[in-house]
Amino acid sequence: MIVKTSGTSANAFFIIPEDANDLFTLRRIVEKNDYVIADTSRVIKQVKEYVRPDKGERVKVRVSIRVEQSELDDAVDRLRITGTITDTDNEMVTKGTHHSLSVQAGDGVTIDKGRKWYGAEIDLLKRSGDTSRFILVAVDTQEAGIAKVSGTHVKIIPNIYSGQSGKRYQTRNNPNIEVYLTDIAKTVSSILGENDEIIVFGPGETRRRLFNALVDKQEIPKDRVRVVDGVDVAGEDGIFVFLRSPAMKEAMSASKIASVSTMLDRVMLMVSKGEAKFAMGVPEVSQAAKMKAIESVVFSDSIFKTVDEEQVVRMLNSIEGHGAKTFAVDSSTDIGLRVSSLGGIVALLRYAVR
């Protein structure tokens, strides 16, 4: 999550959520009677005397709404905030009418509580703001898959193709390959954030040639680009193979996605050994939370299909209040699907409770 102070008020923060975990953090922070400022769209209908109103035109507008309700919209990758419009930059939008904001990863919003923020709220923002971000590149001489990883969310960029055909060794000295590598390097550079790290992998020596293109032609510092062995698949498939591989845990050890993957592997190991220091599903995790036994917990969007959202929020607030870590995952990765198959929520315990 990107968090900055806002010039609109001393009690406001400008926030850009970057993954499902950040959106859930916003869900916990945004309360009734808060003010949320964001860009949105609204249908403007022209009403003339003696004439039926037309279908209206959808226009982009910046509004400030006084919050009445916030909820995750059927999934943890979208937050819906509803309330009354208190201010707008378009005079055709009527103040005092109701409006609903849909906030997704990458959308910027300003939150003004009209009061000094509580210490617990600031702590939530700080924890979410400390996120490692990576750009993954799975490349060979024929195709390159690129993805940006923020927290536990993975955004895939369409593959780039070289147009080469035939056996790979025949294209080694083909000048067109340099154009292909330059295109990849430019694409990576265009999405590279200030603190992002680039990880390059794939079969053959193309990955090292891409390293040179990134460092020499795009002038990206060497310490921000790593070439990783152990994954010999390119393209979008290579991205998902890497995210399930031991190489990912080593190369991205400080990331949320690596932490969650390691946690799930520990749970599976305990299952195979018959140990009981884990809990799966809402009833088990809720019971462990009451006993203050939880070390860390991960949940997916599937949990909201069977459990009331407010109940989940209260449970996770209680878990964090006792010093445990919480992670939200979505269906953009294999990890989200694994958590969903295990009851939607999985916890590592400090001690066995059964």
Given CA atoms 33, 36, 40, 43 in this order, what sign does their dihedral have? positive
pLDDT (0 to 100) of residue 66: 94
Rounded to an integer, what distance in angstroms lies between the CA atom of residue 89 and that of residue 61?
Answer: 6
Residues in the chain: 354
pLDDT (0 to 100) of residue 333: 75
Amino acid, single-letter form, for residue 331: S
**What is the CB neighbour count within 10 angstroms for residue 255?**
21
Rounded to an integer, what distance in angstroms lies between the CA atom of residue 204 and that of residue 91?
Answer: 60
Q: Where in the chain is the domain with CATH 3.30.1330.30?
A: 256-349
CA distances from 229 to 3, 157, 169, 226, 314 (A): 35, 22, 19, 10, 43
Q: Where in the chain is the domain with CATH 3.30.420.60?
A: 133-251
What does each of the 354 residues of the chain score in pLDDT, given as a tens digit?
A: 788 888 777 889 999 887 777 887 888 888 899 999 998 877 766 555 554 555 666 778 888 999 998 887 755 578 899 999 898 887 777 788 888 888 888 889 999 998 888 887 887 787 766 567 899 999 999 999 999 988 777 889 999 998 876 554 444 455 578 899 999 999 999 999 888 899 999 998 999 999 999 999 899 999 999 999 989 999 999 999 999 898 898 888 878 888 888 899 999 999 999 888 999 989 999 999 999 999 999 988 778 777 887 888 888 888 887 888 888 887 667 888 888 888 889 999 998 876
Q: Encoding tokens for residue 93?
A: 């939008």
pLDDT (0 to 100) of residue 294: 93
Predicted model pTM: 0.74
User: Which one is the CATH code of 256-349: 3.30.590.10, 3.40.640.10, 3.30.1330.30, 3.40.50.720?
Assistant: 3.30.1330.30
Domain 2-129 class, CATH top level: mainly beta
Q: Encoding tokens for residue 288?
A: 């462990």
Fold entry, domain 133-251: Nucleotidyltransferase; domain 5 (3.30.420)
Rounded to an integer, what distance in angstroms lies between the CA atom of residue 347 and that of residue 345?
Answer: 7
**Using alpha carbons only, what angle is made at residue 179 by residues 176 and 183, rounded to the nearest 5 degrees?**
145
Amino acid, single-letter form, for residue 190: S
Q: Where in the chain is the domain with CATH 2.30.30.870?
A: 2-129
